[in-house]
Structure 1
Amino acid sequence: MMDSERHEATPRRTALVTGANKGLGKEISRQLAALGMSVLLTARNDELGSAAAAELAAEGGDIRFARLDVTEEKTIRSVAELVDGSFGRLDILVNNAGVSGVVRGERLPLDEISVETLRSTLETNFVGAFALTQALLPALRTAGGRVVNVTSALATFARTTGSGPAGRADLIPYCASKVALNMTSVLLADQLRESGVTVCSVSPGYVATDMNNFAGTKTVRDGARTVVRFATAAPDELPDRAFITEEGVAPW
């Protein structure tokens, strides 16, 4: 077999990134496409998502857009069908879509935290990520793929004192949702190990995005590099059932 024929016979690696019309998700999509992958950029907003995909495709990447709201079962099913029909496999799933659950510019006391905010934050950051992963399991198993759950360094019991989450009652919805996501990563990793699918939680660091009113100390490019690094690492280079930050494995 000639080299060109062998190359054509090898399927292009595929990736799906949620919450990718801007910020970290958009940059993760850009970097994965730069590695030669076919990237499905997803977002809730059709107009913004389409514009982001078109911009990245103009840079030479193989990127297409699909509408996805991880809190809507209908769009989850639609995206799973699209992946199956277009690719037949999924090498990388990056669960990046998330909300802060914090009212910008305010620090609400414990008594004023809305239970509805808690529910909606968990629904997006935790339940939605699980539902999408579950729907994409057939494609992930076919590829022996990788699931990367984008988490936060705040989602660790080791940082619940001082200036950490303990100092902000209104961070309860966000921190709780990311802790739940971390635990899901551990359990999914065990459940999927025999199928060849690997799972990890990765914190990109304190990245300057609209979620934190651009107060972060890292650029989206640097934050995305951390996520992409572990999204593309060989299975034997991925710490087992670990919570990973840009500095390496973090305590739970």
Structure 2
Amino acid sequence: MNQIAFVTGANKGIGLETARQLGNAGWKVLLGARNTQLGREAAAELRSQGLDVEFLQIDMTDKQSIEQAAGIIQTDYPALTLLINNAGMPGAFSRSFSDTKETDLRNAFEVNFFGTFRLNQLLLPLIRSNEGTIVNVSTDMASLHFMQSSEYALNAFDYNASKTAGNAMTVAMAIECSKTNAQVFAVTPGFTKTDLNGNAEGGKSKEAGAAIIVGYATDGKRHNGEFLDVDGVYGW
């Protein structure tokens, strides 16, 4: 039986490529997406390539939807050993603290932090019992070190703050896993052309970004509590 992975936000972009690469590596993939039609189409696309992929509806802004998806996994896929929290949203991608609107900040946190928190809290016991892995997909701009030291840092406070909070969640979860064989860590794929940033020029391809995530998720090494980029451990 193939190992089972659940990837959220996987109907397009880095999430879809992550699901594709896991499938090509022999994993059974549960492809999570909010939009049922788009999720089913994405899963069908990957199945047409001979991959073992099933669609699982999950709306990261909807507590009931998250609980339902987690319940399906616990009942139908209890052998799950990999959760990749890829789903995310930019808020308004504000350009400064002063320009940030509270509504946009709350919207970013709802998906990037609270929705991910709910799913992680529901599935962490299963991952721990299966000695599996949770990867929280992060961003360079979640790093306070990067934001203070880089001239290339984008001061998008709504998005960045929600992802920095996600990094704190990663550390808290990793502490709980420190005396087990399960692990939780964060990965930033770096600047990648996606719909989130309007497919901005200069970013790496979705395939390259996904390869960084999949590489760390499946390399068999112990990364518990780490924040990783393409070159290795990244500064918090």
Using the size of structure 1 for normalisation, the TM-score is 0.87
- Change in 2 beyond 3 A, CA 1:210/1:190: same
Task: Provide the residue aligned with 1:201 in structure 2.
Answer: 186
Cα distance in structure 2, aligned partners of 1:136 and 1:241: 17
Cα distance in structure 2, aligned partners of 1:190 and 1:55: 38
> Is 1:69 matched up with 2:56?
no
Matching residue's letter, 1:24: I
C-alpha deviations, 1:36-85, integer Å up to 9, x for none? 11110011101101100000011011100011011211111111121122
- Change in 2 beyond 3 A, CA 1:173/1:73: same
Alignment of 1:181-220 (within 5 A): 181-215=166-200, 216-220=202-206
Matching residue's letter, 1:249: V
Task: Provide the residue aligned with 2:104 in structure 1.
Answer: 117
Task: Provide the residue aligned with 2:74 in structure 1.
Answer: 84
> Is 1:56 matched up with 2:41?
no
Alignment of 1:1-252 (within 5 A): 11-102=1-92, 110-161=97-148, 163-165=151-153, 168=155, 171-215=156-200, 216-234=202-220, 237-252=221-236
- Change in 2 beyond 3 A, CA 1:40/1:160: same
Q: Which runs of 5+ in 2 are unaligned?
A: none
In the TM superposition, structure 1's runs of 4+ consecutive aligned residues that sit over 6 Å from their partners are: none
Task: Provide the residue aligned with 1:7 in structure 2.
Answer: none
Q: Is the 8 A contact 2:183 2:225 kept in 1?
A: no
C-alpha deviations, 1:113-172, integer Å up to 9, x for none? 21011011011101111110111123212321100000001111222245344x63xx00
Cα distance in structure 2, aligned partners of 1:92 and 1:135: 14
Q: Is the 8 A contact 2:59 2:66 kept in 1?
A: yes
Cα distance in structure 1, aligned partners of 2:173 and 2:98: 35
Q: Is the 8 A contact 1:149 1:201 kept in 2?
A: yes
C-alpha deviations, 1:206-252, integer Å up to 9, x for none? 11101111115200111101000111122xx2344221001211111
Could you say what secondary structure the match of 1:136 adopts?
Answer: helix
Cα distance in structure 2, aligned partners of 1:96 and 1:117: 19
Larger C-alpha radius of gyration, 1 or 2?
A: 1
Q: Aligned-residue CA RMSD in angstroms?
A: 1.6
Q: Which runs of 5+ in 1 are unaligned?
A: 1-10
Q: Which moved more, 1:153-162 or 1:240-249?
A: 153-162
C-alpha deviations, 1:75-119, integer Å up to 9, x for none? 11111121122221211000000011235xxx6554442101101
- Change in 2 beyond 3 A, CA 1:160/1:50: same
Could you say what secondary structure the match of 1:70 adopts?
Answer: coil
Q: Percent identity?
A: 37
Matching residue's letter, 2:127: L
Cα distance in structure 2, aligned partners of 1:108 and 1:201: 24
Q: Is the 8 A contact 1:33 1:63 kept in 2?
A: yes
Deviation at 1:192, TM superposition (A): 2.0
Q: Is the 8 A contact 1:154 1:164 kept in 2?
A: no
Q: Which moved more, 1:179-188 or 1:15-24?
A: 179-188
Q: Is the 8 A contact 1:239 1:249 kept in 2?
A: no
